[in-house]
Structure 1
Amino acid sequence: MARRPKYPCRHRGCSALVDGPGYCSEHAAEAVGWHRVHQRGNRHQRGYGTEWDKIRARILRRDGYLCQCEDCRAEGRPLRATEVDHRIPKSRGGTDDDGNLRAINRDCHRRKTQRESRAARQG
């Protein structure tokens, strides 16, 4: 049986060959959405361990499992909340205090995070 040919790594200038189309192990982090645990840290290292699980449950109960984002409140029909959001992101000095946390719908949370990321990239 014939062997399948190897593919070149997608990283520009890399001469490594891989079994399927993609990146070699050295450049695997360039694949969209893929992060090495030692670069990003696991959830406990990032501050989202057991204590965060307790805080999250308390905030969801406090807000009645309803989304508290600006869009849902303006429309007067909040969606079901499954996540907890930092009003001021931890990356900008936000804390895990109850006043900085709110229940939020998954889709609303993604939109808010995208807006924040876009603003951070634009400077």
Structure 2
Amino acid sequence: MARRPKYPCRHRGCPALVDGPGYCPAHASDAGWRSDQLRGNRHQRGYGTDWDRTRKRILARDGYLCQCEECQAEGRPLLATEVDHRIPKARGGTDDESNLRAINRDCHKRKTQRESRDARRRSLHR
């Protein structure tokens, strides 16, 4: 039986080959998602039962409509199913209700990608 081809490590410039798409052992920590053992489960990260109650309250407060800048500027009434931190917790934001808003799933993904990209750029310029 033929052997499967190896894949290059996804870390830029790494010459290592791995059995499946992904990172070599030396760069495994570069992967965007980390297991619960490394990052903690949702309760340990502050998204337990209290967060569930806060989330429901924020969604109801905002009428289950997306409150992102793009939807507000365009007057687009998209259904919101998630709650977003206006100032991300990683940048000093809190779970205070004034920092939370209802947001559509796709809008939340775009915002998170933008924040992630900006964080990577900041870390490269240090």
Shorter-chain TM band: 0.7 to 0.9
Hey, what's the Cα distance between the residues in 2 that align with 1:71 and 1:122? Answer: 23
More displaced 10-residue stretch of structure 1: 65-74 or 32-41: 32-41
User: Identity across aligned pairs (percent)?
Assistant: 63
Any idea what SS the aligned residue of 1:42 has?
coil
Hey, what's the Cα distance between the residues in 1 that align with 2:68 and 2:91? Answer: 19
Hey, what's the Cα distance between the residues in 2 that align with 1:22 and 1:98? Answer: 41
1:68 equivalent in alignment to 2:67: yes
**Which blocks of at least 5 consecutive residues in structure 1 are unaligned?**
none
1:83 equivalent in alignment to 2:82: yes
Report the RMSD for the aligned CA atoms in angstroms.
Answer: 2.9
TM-score (norm 1): 0.77
Q: Which has the larger radius of gyration?
A: 1
Aligned position for 1:109? 108
| Offset of residue 9 of structure 1 | 8.6
| Offset of residue 33 of structure 1 | 5.7
1:118 equivalent in alignment to 2:117: yes
The total of aligned residue pairs comes to 118
TM-score (norm 2): 0.75
**Which blocks of at least 5 consecutive residues in structure 2 are unaligned?**
none
| Offset of residue 44 of structure 1 | 0.6
Deviating beyond 2 angstroms after TM superposition, the runs of 4 or more aligned structure 1 residues are 4-15, 20-23, 29-35
Hey, what's the Cα distance between the residues in 1 that align with 2:78 and 2:47? Answer: 24
